[in-house]
């Protein structure tokens, strides 16, 4: 990018600056840290970056233009100049009625997409009246026992006008079937349904543990969804391959993208083994990343991830469609960085994290409420979180030009460094036989745990400052916090609603639909048509998942994958 003579002059000038200006000042006064490192400690940060640090950068090969390969500078040609990112606030209150009210509130306040959180029993494929659900109904999100609950959630919300993201994994096929059924009820053509299901079970074995079935049948369900949606629901993203939970478990930025892309490779390979053409399903793949406090490291991470996925889809899978090679992603600000102490500080953390996501080119964004370290967010904190995005979009200027940090000597150098480290991790995964084998052996989990342990040690020793926690602390009255509480009677009321659905439905139709699903699971036909038929009879989430448990079994930690 620069003339060799110019680079030589720059290098000489830097050496002179270090010897005559910078060095003597450091010798006299020192610096705050030695060395400076990125937030996750993966890369050492130099005092100054110059064109010499990006001397090997080839603009067309390594950067290109927005909307053109290798997509480092963005997957769309106009990015936010044409259309802002989708503001998708995560919401799922204890009951379907409360969730519907929150969705309508957020849309009235200017939210442009819905994002649905489910309670733990729903995530694990249990109904609210199951023994395993006791004490957890509606606590971490909305309880969805049957299509009746989904009807309530989306009452008055036209599915042809909104995009809905559902954070659900092991039972993702069931919740997707319910969403399709709601669209059918509303008369919305299936090709007009838009949204995303997380549907990323490999990440569950690594970081969250809300799995149900063993990996092999889980991968079958996922590839059935790929095939079905490519034909029936072509504008719905069939998976959100999630680095978010990997990062929240303690990984570095480079590990986050390496492990996430390695999961993506596994899904593509599984789909191909099932006989699917890569260009038929790959355009519906999407990704989900975290955004942390170190703004420039996060920007570099997002840019490196786009470039890597383009290379992976081109070189490993011979994808021909540009859409198959584009990494499109949702971002959520980092929940694990939120503190129970001085919760007002979380507003600032979330704003910086949101800025990093936008500067990095995200397609949609959720900003956390300041009180999420304590409880589900209150209506007021949700509004502040949404306003954070709106101020960023309309007042900051960050959305007015494409990839505004592109060309920064530091950002370009850091992008290369993050990518290089992530590629080393991918090579290590390949040497272990791929991501499933690396997870099965516990290697991936140990790599994350080691980083998380080191980070916690640094916090406890005071080496890493967390404002308001181990430095700049104040005495606080915990009772001053306005906390969203889940009423104790909520669980009882949800169970009564479930009993009402079971009393009103056609039991013979339910039994026939569940039997057909059982036969489909024992055979090799696509499961999705049987699932859509089953939910339309008001078969419950737990009943459907129990049928699949009966055929596929349940995954036990430590069992072969």
Quote the mean pLDDT of the chain: 94
Locate tokens 């110019």: which residue? 6
Question: Tens of pLDDT along 505-539?
Answer: 999 999 999 999 999 999 999 999 999 999 999 99
User: Using CA atoms, how far apart are residues 312 and 429, in angstroms rounded to an integer?
Assistant: 14
Question: Tens of pLDDT along 279-330?
Answer: 999 999 999 999 999 999 999 999 999 999 999 999 999 999 999 999 999 9
Predicted local distance difference test score (pLDDT) of residue 560: 56
Question: Tens of pLDDT along 442-494?
Answer: 999 999 999 999 999 999 999 999 999 999 999 876 555 666 666 778 999 99
Q: Determine the 3-state secondary structure of 365 from DSSP.
A: strand
Neighbours of 163 (CB within 10 A): 19
For residues 378-397, give the mean pLDDT: 95
Question: Tens of pLDDT along 74-110?
Answer: 999 999 999 999 998 877 767 899 999 989 988 999 8
Cis peptide bond N-terminal to 416, omega within 30: no
Q: Containing H/E element for 512? A: helix 507-522
Give 118's strand partners: 142
DSSP sequence for 456-501: HHHHHHTSS--BTTTBS-----GGGS--B---THHHHHHHHHHHHH
DSSP sequence for 390-439: HHHHHTSSTTSSSSTTTT-HHHHHHHHHHHHHHHHHHHHHHHTTSHHHHH
First vs last C-alpha separation in the chain: 48
Angle between helices 528-536 and 507-522 (to 10 degrees): 170
Question: Tens of pLDDT along 143-174?
Answer: 999 999 999 999 999 999 999 999 999 999 99
Question: Tens of pLDDT along 199-255?
Answer: 999 999 999 889 999 999 999 999 999 999 999 999 999 999 999 999 999 999 999
Going by pLDDT thresholds of 50, 70 and 90, the confidence category of residue 558 is low
Q: Tokens representing 437? A: 């084998």
Predicted local distance difference test score (pLDDT) of residue 41: 65
Predicted local distance difference test score (pLDDT) of residue 358: 98
User: Using CA atoms, how far apart are residues 284 and 227, in angstroms rounded to an integer?
Assistant: 11
User: Using CA atoms, how far apart are residues 519 and 524, in angstroms rounded to an integer?
Assistant: 9
pTM of the model as a whole: 0.92
Neighbours of 16 (CB within 10 A): 11
Predicted local distance difference test score (pLDDT) of residue 249: 95
């Amino acid at each position: 990018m620069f003339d060799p003579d110019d680079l030589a002059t720059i290098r000489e000038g830097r050496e002179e600056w270090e010897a005559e200006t910078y060095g003597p000042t450091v010798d006299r006064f020192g610096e705050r840290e030695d060395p400076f490192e990125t937030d996750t400690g993966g890369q050492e940060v130099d005092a100054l970056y110059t064109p010499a640090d990006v001397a090997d950068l080839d603009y067309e090969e390594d950067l290109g233009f927005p909307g053109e390969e290798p997509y480092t500078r963005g997957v769309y040609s106009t990015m936010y100049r044409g259309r802002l990112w989708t503001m998708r606030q995560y919401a799922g209150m204890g009951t379907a009625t409360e969730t519907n009210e929150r969705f309508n509130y957020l849309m009235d306040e200017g939210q442009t997409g819905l994002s649905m959180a489910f309670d733990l029993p729903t995530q694990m494929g249990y109904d609210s009246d199951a023994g395993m659900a006791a004490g957890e109904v509606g606590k971490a999100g909305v309880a969805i026992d049957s299509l009746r609950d989904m009807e309530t959630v989306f009452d008055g919300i036209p599915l042809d006008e909104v995009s809905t993201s559902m954070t659900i994994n092991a039972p993702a096929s069931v919740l997707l079937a319910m969403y399709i059924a709601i669209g059918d009820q509303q008369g919305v053509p299936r090709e007009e349904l838009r949204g995303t299901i997380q549907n990323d079970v490999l990440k569950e074995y690594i970081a969250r543990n809300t799995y149900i079935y063993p990996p092999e049948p889980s991968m079958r369900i996922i590839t059935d969804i790929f095939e079905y949606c490519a034909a029936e629901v072509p504008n719905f993203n069939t998976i959100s391959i999630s680095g978010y939970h990997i990062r929240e478990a303690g990984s570095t930025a480079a590990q986050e993208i390496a492990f996430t892309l390695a999961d993506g490779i596994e899904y593509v390979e599984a789909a191909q083994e099932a006989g699917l053409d890569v260009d038929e399903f790959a355009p519906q793949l999407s990704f989900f990343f975290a955004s942390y406090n170190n703004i420039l490291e996060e920007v570099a991470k997002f840019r490196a991830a786009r470039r890597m996925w383009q290379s992976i889809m081109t070189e490993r899978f011979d994808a021909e469609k540009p859409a198959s090679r584009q990494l499109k992603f949702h971002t959520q600000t980092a929940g694990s960085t939120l503190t129970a102490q001085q919760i007002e500080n979380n507003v600032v953390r979330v704003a910086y994290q949101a800025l990093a996501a936008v500067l990095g080119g995200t397609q949609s964004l959720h900003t956390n409420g300041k009180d999420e370290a304590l409880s589900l967010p209150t209506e007021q904190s949700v509004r502040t979180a949404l306003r954070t995005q709106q101020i960023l979009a309309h007042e900051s200027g960050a959305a007015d030009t494409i990839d505004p940090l592109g060309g920064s000597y530091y950002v370009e150098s850091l992008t290369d460094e993050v990518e290089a480290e992530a590629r080393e991790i991918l090579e290590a995964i390949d040497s272990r036989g791929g991501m499933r084998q690396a997870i099965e052996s516990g290697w991936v989990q140990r790599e994350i745990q080691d980083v998380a342990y080191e980070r916690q040690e640094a916090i406890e020793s005071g080496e890493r400052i967390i404002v308001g926690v181990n430095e700049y602390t104040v005495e606080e009255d915990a009772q001053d916090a306005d906390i969203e509480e889940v009423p104790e009677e909520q669980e009882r009321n949800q169970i009564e609603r479930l009993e009402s659905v079971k009393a009103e439905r056609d039991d013979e139709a339910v039994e026939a639909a569940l039997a057909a699903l059982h036969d489909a699971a024992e055979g090799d036909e696509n499961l999705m048509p049987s699932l859509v038929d089953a939910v339309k009879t008001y078969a419950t989430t737990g009943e459907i998942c129990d049928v699949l448990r009966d055929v596929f079994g349940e995954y036990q930690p430590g069992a072969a994958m």
